[in-house]
Structure 1
Amino acid sequence: MKKFLLLFISVFSCLHTIKAQDVDDKNFDFKPVSQEDLKSTVYEKDSTANAVVLKEYGFARIANIDAKVGLFYEYKTRIKIFNSKAFNLATVIVPLYVGKTSREKLLKVEATVYNADGTTSKISTDDAFVEHKNEHYDLAKFTLPNIKEGSVIEYYYKTFSTFLFNFHTWEFQSEIPKKLSTYHTSIPANYIYNIKLVGNLKFSNRESKLKKDYFYIEGLGTADCVDEHYEMRDIPALIPEDYMTSEDNYLAAIRYELKTYESFTKGKDNISKTWDDVDSELKHGVDIGVQARKERYFGKLIPEALQTGDTNIEKVKKIYYYLQDYLTWNGSYKIQDIDVKDAFEKRTGSVAELNLILLNFLKAQGFDAGLMLLTTRENAYPTKLYPVISEFNYAVVHLKLDHQIYLLDINHKYKSFGRLPYEALNGYGRVFDFENPSYWEDIAISNESLNNISSQIIVDDNGTLTNNIRITEKGYLADQERLYLSNKTEDEAIESIENNFSKTSEPEISNYKVLNQDDLEKPITTEFTVSVKNQISANKKLFFLYPFINKDFKTNPFKLKKRTYDVNFGYGFSYKYRTIIKISNKFKIESIPEDFGIALPDNKGYMLFKTNKNPNMLVAELRLVMASPTFSPDEYDGLKKIFNNFIKAKETPIVLKPVQKTPTIDNTTKGK
C-alpha cells in the first residue's frame, strides 16, 4: 500500500497559513431568511444594484464517496431581488463538461423562493433538465418560480466529475454585489495544481489545514489532503463599461490547472508543460513550427522588385505592403491545422497563415524575424505562471531591425506598417524564434494617434456662417477613418458630416475632398466647407455659434459611480481643435465660455479650453490628451471629469449679438 505526504505549493505565498475547522455540510445550513432581508428595498453599499448576493458557499473536493472517485462540487447561494431587472437570476445554468467516454453529472438540486407576504415556492432535482450545447459541454438548467420584486431566492446544487484536470473555478465577483462569498477546497497530495488568483480584491479570511491520511482507496493507498478556506466580504459588482479588456482579467476568482498527478500504481505524470516543452513542440510540430520554416519555398516566389531598396526598412515595407495587398484574411483566428503554401496559392487564409507567409518572406531576405503569439482583447491575458497554448488565438510577426522591434500584421487592409489591429492590443505576447528559448514581451505602442481639427469661421453681415474645416488624423485614428470611408460613398460621408451640425439649421457642404486615403504611410486629411444661412435667433437678438464640430466623444463613456478595473484605451491619443472666427462689424461678441482645464498628475491625461479675443476675431482652442493607454481605478474620477468638461466645452456656444444702430439727429429741425 502506497502513502503520499503532502507537499503543497501555492501561488499565495504572501498569505499566512493557520489551522481551520474541518469542512462539513453544516456550512450549507444557512440561517432562516430574516424579515429585514425580505423587506429591504435597496443595498446600502450600492443603491444602483438590482440584486445582491446575501451569502454564497461552495465546496469542491477530490474524494472517494460511495465508490465514486472524482471531483464533487456543491454550491449554495441566497440572493435578494430588488426589481424586475434581476428576474433573470431566477434561471440557473450549470455547465457540465463532456469528455470522449464520460460526462459531468448533476446529482441534486434544491431551490426555494421566499416572498414578503410569507409565501414560498420550491423546486427539486426533478425540475431541472439537461440540454446539449456542443461537443465539450452540456447545460443543466432550472428556473425558480413565482419571482416578485422583493423576493429572496435560495438554491443548492451538486455535481460530480471524473475530469480532475478541471478543478472547479470559483468566482468571488459577478455582475451584482455580494455580501459574503466563501469557497472550500479539499485536494489530496497526489494532485498538485497550479493556482491562479485573478483580480485585485483582498481576502477577508484565508485558512488552511492539513489532514493526514484523509484520501483513501481500498487496496491502493492513502494520501494526505489540504483543506483551504477562502472568504471575501462586501464584494462590489463588476459592471462592464467601455474601454476595458476581458472581464476575466479583473473578475476576482481562483482558477486551477492540474500540474502533476501521482498514481498509486503507475507513478508520477506531469500534466502541465514547461515553456521548454512548448518551445520544442512548436518547433517540431506540423503547425506553427513547420509552417515557419518555409523560407526556401517562399524565397523563390519573391518578386524582384521587392528585393531592392536603399535601406532595410524600405525593403521590409515593400514586402509588407505587397503581401497586405496580395492576400486577404478569411476571418479565421485558428493557429492550428494551417497550411501556408495552400493559403498563398488561394490568396486567403487565417491570421496565423498570412502572418507566417510574411515571416517566411522576411526570413528568406535575411531579416531577423520571429513569431509572437498573443490573445485578443475579448479574451483574458495569457497566463504567465505556466504555459497554456490554448489561450493564444492570434499570431503576428516579431521583427528586429536596426535596433528596433516591429510587430507586423498584414491581415487588415487599412493598417500601416508596424501597427497592430486594436483587438490585438492586449498587454503582452510570447515571442518564438524556434532556435532560442521563447520569452514574454509587452505590446508597446510607439505611433502617435492624433486628430487635428482646424476651422476658419466667417460670419458675414447677414448672419450667414461659412466654416472651412480641415481634419488631419494619424495613427489609430487614421485607421478608423480609412476603414469608415471605405464603407461609405461620398454622398453618405457628406450626409454624416451634416449630422454633426445638428445645432445649426440646414448646413450645406461643399468643396469636400479626402487626401492620402490610400497612402497608409501618411496622415489622412479631410477638407470641406460648411455654409449655414441666417443664424440669428428668432427674436433677432442673439446668434449662437458652436466653434467645434461634434465628431468624437459625443457623450461621456465613463458613467459608473466607481470602477474597480483599469481603463484601457489600447493606445494614447490626442484631439486638438483650433478655430479662428472672423466676425462682421454688424455683430459683437456677447459672451464666450471662460478658459478652463483639468489634468491628472504628470499630465497623464488632460483637457484644456482657451480663447484669445480681438474686436472682430476670436481664436478658440480645445484639447483632449490621453498620454497613456491605461488608467488605474484610482484615476477614474479624474478621467470622468476630464471627459465631462471636454464634452461641455464642445456643447457651450459663443454668443454673438447684432450691433444696434445709433439713431441719427436731424439738425434741420434743431431749435424749431
Structure 2
Amino acid sequence: MKLQTSTLFYTFLFILSAGLCQVHAQDLPAKFGKVDDEALKMRVYEQDTSAAAVVLSDYGYSYFTYSKGFKVVFERHTRIKILKKSGYDAANISVPYYQRNSKKETVYSIKGYTYNQEDGKVTKDKLESKAIFDEQTNENWFAKKFTMPNVKEGSVIEYSYTITSDFLYNLREWEFQSTIPVAYSEYNARIPEYFYYKQEQQGYLRFDESTNTKSRDRFTITWSSEVTPGMGGGRTPGGSSQVEATSDVYRWVIRNAPALRPEKYITTLRDYQAKIDFELQTVKYPNELPQVMTGNWEDVTKDLLIADRFGAQLNRKGFFKAEIAAITAKHTEPEQQMIAIHNLVKRSVKWNNKYGIYTTGTLRKAFDNKTGSAAEVNLMLTAMLQDAGLEAGPVLVSTREHGRVPQGSPMLNKFNYVIAHVKLGDKEYLLDATDPLLPAGMLPVRCLNGQGRLIKKDDQRWVTLKPTGKLTKYFNGELTINPNGGLTGKVTESSTGYDALSLRRTILEDGQDKYGEKISKEIGNYKVEKPEFQNVEDLNQALNINYNLSASGNGQPVDVIYLNPMLGKGETENPFKLEERLYPVDIAVPIDYTYVAKFVIPDGYEVEESPKGAIISLPEDGGKFMYIVQREGNVLQIMSKINMLKPVYFAPEYPYLKEFYSQIVAKHAEQIVLKKVSSN
C-alpha cells in the first residue's frame, strides 16, 4: 500500500526524545564486544545436552525515523555458542533484504567477532568487511552473507547489523525459535501513534515477558511554502511546529526456547515456530483523515483480475483457439472436455520448477517456448477451460514448504502458487497441469496445504485443498517354503492414487531395470526376477508390478525354519520418536496399505509358532491396523492392513499415533517358526 503525503505538504522530522533514548539504552542481555568466562567455558548446554550450538542471546529492536518519509529501523545483536563441529553452520549468516522499484531496504553497520579461549587467554577475531558479500535470490530479494572467522569447537560468535526500510506495511517480524536452542530472545518495538499494526503471534511457546507501555515523543513538523495560482491565489508561507505524540513501546521475551527439529510428516517448521508478525492496518497523520491500509478480498480480487501478469492474461486466448475448438468438437461432455484440456496443457508446456502467483512473461510466450512457471502453466489451463465455456477460475495457493496462509487480511506475499478451479454442475474440481503424471482432479502433495483462495469476479472464496484419493498400496504373494528354508513364488504389487503417482515418476526417471534392482534391495535377502510392469503410463489404471521371488535357503533340509512373513515389506522403524510433539502430524493424504501373503508349508513340517492376530484402532476413527492369521491345511495366510484415515492428526493424538506404530513395528517383526515332524 502506498502512503499518501499530506495535503498540507507536511514533512515530519522525527526527533528522538529522551524517552526513546532511555528505552534504547536499557540493560541489554549482552553488551557487544564483551563475553563472560561462563560462555567461553561452556561445553554443554544444560537445557539440551545434544545441542551442537546454542543462541546465547538474540536481541532485536524496531523503531521509526523520518528522512524524506517515514522509515523503519531494525537493529539486531546476536550471540551464539559453538559446541560441536556439527554446529559450525551457525556461523554462516544470511541477512535478507528487499528492494522494489525506488523503495528499498538497506543493510549497514555489520559488525562481528569470534571469541576463543586459548591457554587461558581470550582471543578475538574481527569480521572483516571484505568477508561480507551480496547475493540476489530473486527479482526483489537480496541477502548480505558472511561467515564468522576462526570458528572452532568452544567458540563464541557475535554479530550485529542495522536495516533501514522504506516498507512500513510489514514491520520486521521476530523469530524466537531457531533450528538450534535459544537461551534468550528479546524483541522490542516502538511505534508512533500514527501507525496501527495488527500483531499476529504464532507458535506453542508462551512469552516469559510481554509488556506494552506508553511514551511521549517530540516531533518537529515542517511544511514548505505553497504557491496557489489564479485569482485570489498567492503564496502560503512555510513553517514548522513542535508537537508531542504518544508511542507504544512493546517488549517480548522468551527464555530457553527449544530447537525446532524436523519430524516426519510436517509441512514446514516455520508454521510452528514461535514468532511475532505485524501488518499495518491504519495510518493517521495529524490533521488528516485515517488511511485504511489493509484491503479486503473483494478489492484484491478486482485488482488481480485486471493485473497484467495475472488476470489480464486470461483474456488473451487467440493463440490456442484452434486446439480448444478441436477438443469441444470431439468431446460433448464437460468433464471429458476438462480432462482433454488438462492433458493438452500437460503435453504442450513443461513446468520449469519456478513458483509464484504472477507470470514472468505472456501465456503466448510460455506456449510457444513449451515451458513456463506454475503461474503460467495453470493460468493457461484456466484460460483454455474458460475458452471452452467451462466455469473456471484461478486459485492462489501456498505450498506446504511455503507455509500456512492467514485468512484474515489479504496478504498476497503469503501465496506462491496457482492452480485451476472448475465447477461442473454441483461438482468442483481442482486441477494442476505442472506434472504430466497427475490425473485431472488430483493435486500434487505440495499443494495439499489448508485452503486456497478462488479468484473470480462472482465467486471469490476459500476452497479446501484436500486430496481426492489415497496413498494406496497392495501386496499379494503366493509362495512355497522349501525344506531347506528357501522360498519361491510370485508377487504382485499394485498401487493407485498418490503411491502410483510417486512410483510412476521413479520408474520413468530411473527405468524399469533399475527399479527392479531397487525392489531387490528393499526386500533384502530375497531375489527378484522377471519384473513386469503394467499401466506405467496409463494414469487411469492401477500400476502393477509382477515378479518372481525366491530365497536360496541352506542347500539341504533343516529341522527348524524361521521366516518373517512380511518379506521385507513390514514397518521396521517407528517414524514417531519424540516423547511429545507440539505440532500436528500432517501426512497429507490418507494411507491404505494391504499386505497379503500365502505360504505353502512343506510336507513333513508343522507350525510350531506363528504371529497372533491383532486389531488396533486409533481414537475417533483416526485409523486401524489389522493383522490376521489364517490356516487352511498346509497353507498359512498372513494379512496386514494399515489404514490411516485422516490427512492430519493433531498434537493431542500424537501419543496414540506413536503407540499405534510401535505395535505395528512389533507385530511386523514376529516370525513364523516351522519344525520338522519326527519320523518316529
Q: TM-score range by the shorter chain?
A: 0.7 to 0.9
The offset of 1:231, in angstroms, is 1.9
The 3 A distance-change label for structure 1 pair 40 and 108 is closer
For 1:366, the equivalent position in structure 2 comes to 389
The offset of 1:441, in angstroms, is 1.8
The offset of 1:228, in angstroms, is 0.8
In the alignment, is the contact (CA less than 8 A) between 1:599 and 1:638 conserved in 2?
Answer: no
In the alignment, is the contact (CA less than 8 A) between 2:72 and 2:164 conserved in 1?
Answer: yes
SS of residue in 1 equivalent to 2:428: strand
Give 5+ residue unaligned stretches, structure 1.
5-19, 663-672
In the alignment, is the contact (CA less than 8 A) between 2:366 and 2:376 conserved in 1?
Answer: yes
The 3 A distance-change label for structure 1 pair 363 and 529 is same
Taking the TM superposition and a 5 Å limit, the aligned residue runs for 1:212-611 are 212-216=216-220, 219=240, 221-262=243-284, 271-294=293-316, 298-304=320-326, 306-309=328-331, 311-334=333-356, 335-433=358-456, 435-436=457-458, 438-461=460-483, 463-504=485-526, 507-510=527-530, 512-533=531-552, 535-536=553-554, 540-551=558-569, 555-596=573-614, 598-611=616-629
Distance in structure 2 (CA, Å) of the matches to 1:244 and 1:303: 44
For 1:16, the equivalent position in structure 2 comes to none
The offset of 1:475, in angstroms, is 0.9
Distance in structure 1 (CA, Å) of the matches to 2:21 and 2:556: 79
For 2:227, the equivalent position in structure 1 comes to none
In the alignment, is the contact (CA less than 8 A) between 1:28 and 1:76 conserved in 2?
Answer: no
For 1:8, the equivalent position in structure 2 comes to none
The 3 A distance-change label for structure 1 pair 36 and 209 is same
Does the alignment pair 1:207 with 2:211?
A: yes
Structure 2 length as normaliser, TM-score? Answer: 0.84
Distance in structure 2 (CA, Å) of the matches to 1:553 and 1:286: 52
For 1:12, the equivalent position in structure 2 comes to none
The offset of 1:614, in angstroms, is 4.8
The offset of 1:400, in angstroms, is 1.4
SS of residue in 2 equivalent to 1:292: helix
In the alignment, is the contact (CA less than 8 A) between 2:570 and 2:668 conserved in 1?
Answer: no
> Structure 1 residues 189-198 or 248-257, which shifts more?
189-198
The 3 A distance-change label for structure 1 pair 570 and 440 is same
The offset of 1:41, in angstroms, is 4.2
SS of residue in 2 equivalent to 1:120: strand
Distance in structure 1 (CA, Å) of the matches to 2:325 and 2:573: 50
Taking the TM superposition and a 5 Å limit, the aligned residue runs for 1:175-214 are 175-214=179-218
In the alignment, is the contact (CA less than 8 A) between 2:489 and 2:549 conserved in 1?
Answer: yes
For 1:27, the equivalent position in structure 2 comes to 27
The 3 A distance-change label for structure 1 pair 68 and 386 is closer
Distance in structure 2 (CA, Å) of the matches to 1:37 and 1:215: 42
Distance in structure 1 (CA, Å) of the matches to 2:147 and 2:476: 59
The offset of 1:412, in angstroms, is 1.2
SS of residue in 1 equivalent to 2:132: strand
In the alignment, is the contact (CA less than 8 A) between 1:121 and 1:145 conserved in 2?
Answer: no
RMSD: 3.6
> Structure 1 residues 391-400 or 253-262, which shifts more?
253-262
In the alignment, is the contact (CA less than 8 A) between 1:106 and 1:140 conserved in 2?
Answer: no
The 3 A distance-change label for structure 1 pair 92 and 410 is closer
Distance in structure 2 (CA, Å) of the matches to 1:538 and 1:562: 50
For 1:642, the equivalent position in structure 2 comes to 660
The offset of 1:230, in angstroms, is 1.3
Give 5+ residue unaligned stretches, structure 2.
1-7, 13-19, 223-239
The 3 A distance-change label for structure 1 pair 122 and 587 is same
One-letter identity of the residue aligned with 2:529: I
For 1:137, the equivalent position in structure 2 comes to 142
The offset of 1:451, in angstroms, is 0.9
One-letter identity of the residue aligned with 2:630: N
Count how many residue pairs are aligned between Structure 1 and Structure 2. Answer: 641
> Structure 1 residues 455-464 or 221-230, which shifts more?
455-464
In the alignment, is the contact (CA less than 8 A) between 1:398 and 1:431 conserved in 2?
Answer: yes
SS of residue in 1 equivalent to 2:26: helix
- Once the two structures are superposed, what CA deviation does each residue of 1:644-663 show, in whole Å capped at 9, x if it has no partner? 4434444443222333333x
Identity %: 27
In the alignment, is the contact (CA less than 8 A) between 2:218 and 2:245 conserved in 1?
Answer: yes
- Once the two structures are superposed, what CA deviation does each residue of 1:217-260 show, in whole Å capped at 9, x if it has no partner? 56365432110111223322111233221222121111234444
The offset of 1:186, in angstroms, is 0.1
For 1:84, the equivalent position in structure 2 comes to 85
Distance in structure 2 (CA, Å) of the matches to 1:77 and 1:328: 44
One-letter identity of the residue aligned with 1:84: K
The offset of 1:467, in angstroms, is 2.4
The offset of 1:297, in angstroms, is 6.6
In the alignment, is the contact (CA less than 8 A) between 2:395 and 2:452 conserved in 1?
Answer: yes
The 3 A distance-change label for structure 1 pair 600 and 3 is farther
Does the alignment pair 1:148 with 2:150?
A: no
Does the alignment pair 1:107 with 2:132?
A: no
The 3 A distance-change label for structure 1 pair 230 and 513 is same
Distance in structure 2 (CA, Å) of the matches to 1:143 and 1:72: 24
Distance in structure 2 (CA, Å) of the matches to 1:345 and 1:103: 37
Structure 1 length as normaliser, TM-score? Answer: 0.84
SS of residue in 1 equivalent to 2:312: helix
Distance in structure 2 (CA, Å) of the matches to 1:330 and 1:70: 38
The offset of 1:419, in angstroms, is 0.3
The offset of 1:144, in angstroms, is 5.5
In the alignment, is the contact (CA less than 8 A) between 1:606 and 1:625 conserved in 2?
Answer: yes
The offset of 1:129, in angstroms, is 4.7
SS of residue in 2 equivalent to 1:470: strand
For 1:17, the equivalent position in structure 2 comes to none
The offset of 1:294, in angstroms, is 4.5
The offset of 1:477, in angstroms, is 0.8
One-letter identity of the residue aligned with 1:406: Y
> Structure 1 residues 288-297 or 439-448, which shifts more?
288-297
